[in-house]
Structure 1
Amino acid sequence: MTNLDDLVNWFEDKNKVMIALSGGVDSALVAYAAFQKLGKYAIAVTADYKTLSKEELKTAQDVCSEIGIQQLFLDYDELENEDFTKNDSNRCFHCRMELGNHLIELAKEYNVQIIVDGTNIDDLGDYRPGLEALKQNGIRSPLVETGFSKSKIRDTAKSIGLSVFDKPSNSCLASRIPWGQRVTAEKLTRIEFGETIVKQLTKLKQVRVRDLNGTAKIEVDKEMICIFDKSILDQISEKLKLIGFSTVEIDPEGYKPGKINVIAD
């Protein structure tokens, strides 16, 4: 039975470790385990690469405060990377290669030999070119190596009191733009504002606003679609059009990760 001890003991013979920490529960649990074993020799690193929402960055800071772990920030702009902004099916690969390069440079600066992330065994079944990039950069995944699934991660995080134990999975804002449509700062801004607006008006936690050539396609859990009555939909449409969307629609199929991973014209 996989348990927290397995994860904590994974760090047993590691002198100093850097954890790539986003605002999610997976990397939070890894950071917690590393800190339990290594204390000040565990360092969390959060990348502000301009395609992560402010909400995620704030959560990452809160998690590090909860754990008590030192946090460093990487600050760079993915929108300066043409391989990323052209947004083909390898976008995530280019994103993670760039992140890996920055992490490796920072690790050298802090004399760290091992960099880890929050990939878990459930991630291995999806199409995730970013995982290949991490592997090429020598970044290790303790949750995979100790057999943690997403549900096990959430249960463990809850048992130790991490506030993000039930936080919905998230991904970078660029994932809301179909492959083949260029990633721009303008699109990312309206997507981030759009999701904030929908969350505020519906009180839902899991929201995606896909940007399909200017159309805002809103995805929420299928059983929650019923709350979009005419009044709420009118309010959302009005506000989303003010921030640059041309039309607004609700996806009747509901939220599904990676739904728009197709080449769009």
Structure 2
Amino acid sequence: MNLQEFFKENQKVALAFSGGVDSSYLLYAAMKYGADVKAYYVKALFQPQFEMDDAMRLAEQLKAPVRVLRADVLSDPVVVSNPSNRCYYCKKVIFNMIMKAAAEDGYTVLLDGTNASDDAGDRPGMKALQELQVKSPLRECGLVKSEIRRLSKEGGLFTWDKPSYACLATRIPTGCEITAEKLQKTEAAENFLFSLGFSDFRVRMMPNGAARLQVLSSQLPLLMEKREEILNELKKSYPAVLLDLEVRG
């Protein structure tokens, strides 16, 4: 099956839309192949503001209908306790919210952007999607990340080369309580590094509260150049700032 065939069979669909590479391409493809599609973006403390900004920009580019929902993910005590399968419980909260809103709008088939590169064995959240019968057409059609990026570029989507971005909760160690303060601190630290020119990096919080920086090996010279600025800014919020030598890429 290819996407054109998928949307011929599923002509009225709701899409869980993050503004990332995969869901952006899926929204584009749904519209290209004539589906009646509505996108749903869930704003929660786990998503930084730039993700919402990108999602709204992409929807505007495509002239796609989008509905923004607000979720209090920290209202679930299991999510707050941050177990190793936290993503399962978080996905249940978010996708149940989308399904309810979509049903109100007349959409009964819900899609997400999981692709064929995603390893189901390493993603507790995918179990939640299976239980809720969420369809993943990119995965069903065998589309891997590199192909989705290529097709996105051909389609003129600015998201084609956007780095993968896991939610802010992934920066907090498993078993450490997730709080609004920790999430906001993480978002502010990463926004600062973005402003210095870094890309595809992480500012992780260690159990003792220290910041652990993970950057691309190609950006280590920039890190050394901006070392004092980074230390001065991040030490306002973290007791120590450490570099992870197992760098990204």
TM-score (norm: length of structure 1) = 0.90
Q: Are residue 142 (structure 1) and residue 137 (structure 2) matched?
A: yes
What is the CA–CA distance in structure 2 between the aligned matches of 1:9 and 1:35, rounded to whole Å? Answer: 13
- In the alignment, what sits opposite 2:20? 24
- In the alignment, what sits opposite 2:240? 247
Residue 8 of structure 1, CA deviation = 3.0
Secondary structure of 2:9's counterpart equals coil
Q: Are residue 36 (structure 1) and residue 32 (structure 2) matched?
A: yes
**Could you report, residue by residue, the CA deviation over 1:50-85 in whole angstroms, capped at 9, with x for unpaired residues?**
210001010010111111110001111101111101
- In the alignment, what sits opposite 1:53? 48
- In the alignment, what sits opposite 1:260? none
What is the CA–CA distance in structure 1 between the aligned matches of 2:5 and 2:245, rounded to whole Å? Answer: 45
Q: Are residue 13 (structure 1) and residue 9 (structure 2) matched?
A: yes
What is the CA–CA distance in structure 2 between the aligned matches of 1:8 and 1:233, rounded to whole Å? Answer: 49
What is the CA–CA distance in structure 1 between the aligned matches of 2:15 and 2:218, rounded to whole Å? Answer: 36
**Could you report, residue by residue, the CA deviation over 1:198-227 in whole angstroms, capped at 9, with x for unpaired residues?**
1212x1221210011321111111232232
What is the CA–CA distance in structure 1 between the aligned matches of 2:24 and 2:11, rounded to whole Å? Answer: 20
- In the alignment, what sits opposite 2:191? 196
Runs of 4 or more, structure 1, over 3 Å off, are: none
- In the alignment, what sits opposite 2:220? 225
Cα contact 1:18–1:43 (8 A) shared by 2? yes
Secondary structure of 1:69's counterpart equals coil
**Superposed CA RMSD:** 1.5
- In the alignment, what sits opposite 1:236? 230
What is the CA–CA distance in structure 2 between the aligned matches of 1:199 and 1:47, rounded to whole Å? Answer: 23
- In the alignment, what sits opposite 2:177? 182
- The code of the aligned residue for 2:128 comes to A
Residue 125 of structure 1, CA deviation = 5.3
Cα contact 1:222–1:253 (8 A) shared by 2? no
What is the CA–CA distance in structure 2 between the aligned matches of 1:67 and 1:223, rounded to whole Å? Answer: 34
TM-score (norm: length of structure 2) = 0.95
List alignment gaps of at least 5 residues for structure 2.
none
What is the CA–CA distance in structure 2 between the aligned matches of 1:191 and 1:255, rounded to whole Å? Answer: 18
Percent identity among equivalent residues? 33
